[in-house]
Structure formats: structure tokens, C-alpha cells
């Protein structure tokens, strides 16, 4: 068992124009994505291929009727908005009212951190390019999840899971995990409630927006466990576990532990090796109560009558993982798994004693420490409007403006990955997944790639009567080791298709 599996993140960025609260967010988002297209060469011409999208397929064994869901959930319809596929294997597009960066598929949570951070750089460069257009309004972008006026936008995670794992087991074991993991991966938020009208601070930006335990929706009646069954891979082998319950993290440690711990808990479920009875009486209420409890003492009600706080529940998951690893593999684990076990335990231990010792590691603690400093200095309560502005400024993606970036520059926020690795990831795909084939085809064959999706590429091949689709249903194929020699021997798309058919 390991933290390694096919995974990735999707981040919708908050967008606004100072002094223009009613500016059209969809138009602004299109300006951002189109501005980045100006940074690109021929690969910017490829469109997203919607034929393989199945957003209404439910993991519980049926397809929802199109009329039963919010129209925003119909991601298999081309809205005609800006939509780019990048040479790093990622997707940059307008998701309704927000610019979104979806990372390429990776196999390691540390790589997921790298390409998630590359998304921040892509957005920053798009923002600066858009600002350089004469007469353009000054757009701001934020890596956050709410405008504190009742709207929330997502940060999603995706994990490829074996198809033969009962979905009911995932629901049973991941629900308590998601309700409590926000003590580590919450981004912090000023305001309580969806519109933030109640004064105070909470761990998570997203917790107040969840209204159901299980369901297909992502924008209305948001569920803790999302049931979308759209694997973007061989459906006989895989399901894609689509997680919508997380926050947009700037802290690399929060992002890593969020992804790595979720992956390894899924591995426990795949092995049918987790038998702890942690089912909650009311998960929807508890996810909010945990978020509202910065003292980390709230006791969650379990169906077996016990009461445990979020840290205690997280310890149960950690110990189950550690025991399973020790029993099966001893010390023979990979570096990322060892890093997770070390970080996860240390974070829980320190949170138990004094959360403020983690102000250089976790977003919600770093933000709360900044806010408490303002409150002490100015003698203000949680109702003071300056605090909401500090909250927002923490997530500003501009290095010269964002408070997170200020903490990094001043040595008050730890990092896990290097600037060089992130810079490389802006233009280059992971080498150990099919994303490498996708990115290299865009780089090498340019306009011959007319469309792409996660699991196929569509080529316009000279001499062919119709467009040619190359399926890529196996995420672990199409790697650099697998196809680099083939691509090097194929100077054009005609020779590539001939080699693939041979």
C-alpha cells in the first residue's frame, strides 16, 4: 500500500474587478483564459473533446435525467467559452463564472503539489497578460472558495480507484475522514454561514456549503461524497473518485497531506483493511461544527454512541494506515508514503497541544495568526471589515500583493517543492502518465491536434477522409518511457498514425 495512484486537482479561481462588483464574471474569466492563449503557439487551437464526458452517470448504478440536475452540472455540453489544452497536459478553461486549472494526471501527491502550483503560475501569467491589453479592467484572481456573499466555487480532487471496490465502502469510510480532515487542510475563513453574516473565524472555506451526505450535484445540494461515475479511463477497471469537499490550499504541506492521506485511506478501503466503526450520526451538521471549532475540541456523535473530536478520528485513520503498512511491508515503503506518515502524525500531535505552532505549515493557522495580530493591534472584533479584506488578500495570487506569498518570502511558511520544479511544470507534463503523450503531441504536432480530452486525442491527418481519434484509456500508458522513441521517430502526424497502426 502506498500514497501513489493516478490523481489530480481542479481549482476554480475567484475573480473580481476592484470597484466593479457587478462586472460579468464569465466575461472576465474568458479574458483570463484567452490572455493565456496569447502565450501559446499552435497547441492553443485544439478544442476540448466533449464526446467522452458522462457527467450524469451515478456511481450508485444509474444515470440521472438531464432535467433533474442544475444546468451547470452538464459538463458534456460545449458552452462556447475559452478552453485550452496545454503542453503540460493540463486543461485551462472557463467553468461557468470562473477560470479553472485542472492539473494533468500524476502518480504521486508531491507531483500533484508541483502541478497544482504550476496552475497558480499559469493564472498569474494570464492575469498579467490580460492587464497589458489597452483599456482592460484591472482583474484580480484569488485562490479561494467563496465571495462571502453566498457563492462558493470548487477545489476538486480526483483519485482513480479500482472498479471492483464497492462504492458503499467508500461512502462509509471516507465520510468521517472528509468531515475531520479539515483540521489539517482547511484554508481558513472569516465569517460563519454561507453568506458569512455571522461573525467569527472557521477552519474551512467550503464546509458551510455542504447540504447532503451523498449525491451527484456539485453546485447545488452539495454532497460530502460525490457520486459522479466518469472515470476518464477504462470503465471496466476504474472509477474516478471525484472529491468536491476540499478547500483551495496555498500551503504546500496542506495540499500534500490532503492528497496523500486521502489516497492512502482509499488504499485501505481497496484492501478491505479498515473496519473501524466511525459512522457519524449527522455528517452534514458535523462538517460545519468541526469547521466552526477553532479550539478543536468539538465532540462528534458516532452512531455507536461514542463521542470523539476531529483529531481523535484522524488519529484512528493514521494508526490504521500505519498498522497496515507495518504488517504488510514493514519499512519497505516509498519516500512519499514515509513523508506522509511523518507529517500527518506531527501535525496531529502539534494541533493537540498548540495549533499556532503550525502557522508556518497550515493555511488556516497561518491566516488566523495574521488576523489575530490585526485584532490585537487595532482592538477590533470579528465584525470589523478589515479582517475580511485580510482573508481575501491572503489568497491573492499576485506575489507582490498576496499575504501567503509574503509569508513565504519572509521564511514564515514552509515549502515542499522547488521553484524550478514548478516552473518546469508550467510547460511540461508528468513523465509517468498518459499526460506526457497528450502534452508532447500538442508540442510536436501543433494544429494537427484538433481536439483532446483526458482519454483521447483527435487528429486531422492529411489524406484521411475523417478525423482520427486515438484513445488513451489507460492512464499509466503513454508515458515518456513508453512512447518517447515512437514520437522521436515520427516527424509528423501521418507517420505517428502509421506507427500506431502498425
pLDDT in tens, 297-314: 999 999 999 999 999 999
Residue 52 burial (10 A CB sphere; 0-12, 13-18, 19+) = middle
Exposed/middle/buried for 483, CB within 10 Å: 0-12, 13-18, 19+? buried
pLDDT surpassing 60 at residue 44? no
pLDDT digits (tens, 9 = 90+) for 245-273: 999 999 999 999 999 999 999 999 999 99
Backbone angles phi, psi at 232, to 5 degrees: 55, 35
Q: How confident is the model at residue 323 (pLDDT cuts 50, 70, 90)?
A: very high
In the structure, what pLDDT confidence band is assigned to residue 292 with cuts at 50, 70 and 90?
very high
Crossing angle for the helix pair 252-270 and 310-328, nearest 10 degrees? Answer: 60
Q: Tell me what pLDDT residue 59 has.
A: 73
Written as nine digits, the cell of 328 is 504488510
According to the model, what pLDDT value does residue 170 have?
A: 97
The tens digit of pLDDT for each residue in 329-379 reads 776 789 999 999 999 999 999 999 999 999 999 999 999 999 999 999 999
Give the residue among 159, 273, 148 at the shortest CA–CA distance from 198.
Answer: 148
Of 35-39, 125-129, 253-257, the one with minimum mean pLDDT is 35-39
**What percentage of residues in the chain have a pLDDT greater than 90?**
82
pTM over 0.85: yes
Q: In order of start, what are the domains of the chain with their CATH numbers? A: 7-423 (3.30.590.20), 428-501 (no CATH)
Higher model confidence: residue 77 or residue 27? 27
> What pLDDT does 176 receive?
98
Return mean pLDDT, the chain.
Answer: 93
- pLDDT, residue 290, reads 98
- Predicted confidence band of residue 38 (pLDDT cuts 50, 70, 90): confident
Q: How far is CA 387 from CA 94, 390, 393, 415, in A?
A: 30, 5, 10, 26
Active site residue ranges:
95
Residue-level pLDDT at 42: 53
Q: Who's near 285: CB < 8 A, 6+ residues apart? A: none
Amino acid at each position: 500500500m502506498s500514497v501513489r495512484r493516478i490523481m489530480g486537482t481542479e481549482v476554480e479561481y475567484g475573480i473580481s474587478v476592484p470597484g466593479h462588483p457587478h462586472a460579468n464574471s464569465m466575461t472576465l474569466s474568458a479574458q483570463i483564459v484567452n490572455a493565456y492563449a496569447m502565450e501559446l503557439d499552435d497547441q492553443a487551437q485544439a478544442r476540448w473533446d466533449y464526446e467522452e464526458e458522462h457527467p450524469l452517470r451515478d456511481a450508485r448504478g444509474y444515470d440521472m435525467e438531464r432535467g433533474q440536475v442544475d444546468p451547470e452540472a452538464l459538463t458534456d455540453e460545449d458552452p462556447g467559452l475559452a478552453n485550452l489544452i496545454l503542453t503540460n497536459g493540463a486543461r485551462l478553461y472557463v467553468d461557468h463564472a470562473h477560470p479553472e486549472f485542472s492539473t494533468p494526471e500524476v502518480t504521486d501527491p508531491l507531483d500533484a503539489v508541483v502541478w497544482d502550483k504550476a496552475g497558480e503560475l499559469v493564472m498569474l501569467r494570464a492575469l498579467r497578460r490580460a492587464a497589458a491589453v489597452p483599456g482592460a479592467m484591472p482583474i484580480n484572481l484569488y485562490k479561494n472558495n467563496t465571495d462571502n456573499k453566498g457563492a462558493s466555487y470548487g477545489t476538486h480532487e480526483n483519485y482513480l480507484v479500482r472498479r471492483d471496490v464497492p462504492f458503499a465502502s467508500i461512502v462509509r469510510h471516507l465520510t468521517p475522514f472528509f468531515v475531520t480532515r479539515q483540521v489539517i487542510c482547511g484554508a481558513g475563513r472569516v465569517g460563519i454561514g454561507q453568506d458569512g453574516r455571522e461573525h467569527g473565524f472557521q477552519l474551512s472555506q467550503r464546509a458551510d456549503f455542504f447540504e447532503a451526505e451523498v449525491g451527484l450535484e456539485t453546485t447545488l445540494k452539495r454532497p460530502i461524497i460525490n457520486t459522479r461515475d466518469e472515470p476518464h479511463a477504462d470503465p471496466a477497471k476504474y472509477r474516478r473518485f471525484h472529491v468536491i469537499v476540499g478547500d483551495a490550499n496555498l500551503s504546500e504541506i496542506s495540499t500534500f497531506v490532503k492528497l496523500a492521506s486521502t489516497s492512502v485511506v482509499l488504499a485501505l478501503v481497496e484492501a478491505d483493511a479498515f473496519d473501524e466503526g466511525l459512522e457519524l450520526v449527522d455528517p452534514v451538521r458535523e462538517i460545519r461544527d468541526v469547521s466552526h471549532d477553532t479550539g478543536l475540541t468539538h465532540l462528534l456523535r458516532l452512531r455507536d454512541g461514542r463521542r470523539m473530536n476531529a483529531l481523535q478520528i484522524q488519529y484512528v485513520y493514521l494508526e490504521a494506515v500505519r498498522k497496515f503498512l507495518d504488517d504488510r511491508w514493514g519499512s519497505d515503503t516509498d519516500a512519499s508514503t514515509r513523508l506522509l506518515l511523518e507529517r500527518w502524525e506531527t501535525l496531529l500531535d502539534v494541533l493537540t497541544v498548540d495549533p499556532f505552532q503550525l502557522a508556518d505549515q497550515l493555511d488556516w493557522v497561518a491566516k488566523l495568526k495574521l488576523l489575530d495580530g490585526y485584532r490585537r493591534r487595532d482592538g477590533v472584533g470579528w465584525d470589523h471589515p478589515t479582517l475580511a479584506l485580510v482573508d481575501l488578500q491572503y489568497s491573492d495570487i499576485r506575489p507582490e500583493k498576496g499575504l501567503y506569498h509574503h509569508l513565504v518570502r519572509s521564511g514564515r511558511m514552509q515549502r515542499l517543492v522547488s521553484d524550478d520544479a514548478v516552473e518546469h511544470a508550467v510547460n511540461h507534463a508528468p513523465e509517468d502518465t498518459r499526460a506526457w503523450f497528450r502534452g508532447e503531441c500538442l508540442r510536436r504536432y501543433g494544429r494537427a491536434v484538433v481536439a483532446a480530452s483526458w482519454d483521447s486525442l483527435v487528429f486531422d491527418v492529411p489524406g484521411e477522409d475523417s478525423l482520427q481519434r486515438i484513445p488513451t484509456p489507460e492512464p499509466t500508458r503513454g508515458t515518456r518511457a513508453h512512447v518517447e522513441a515512437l514520437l522521436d521517430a515520427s516527424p509528423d502526424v501521418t507517420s505517428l498514425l502509421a506507427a500506431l497502426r502498425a
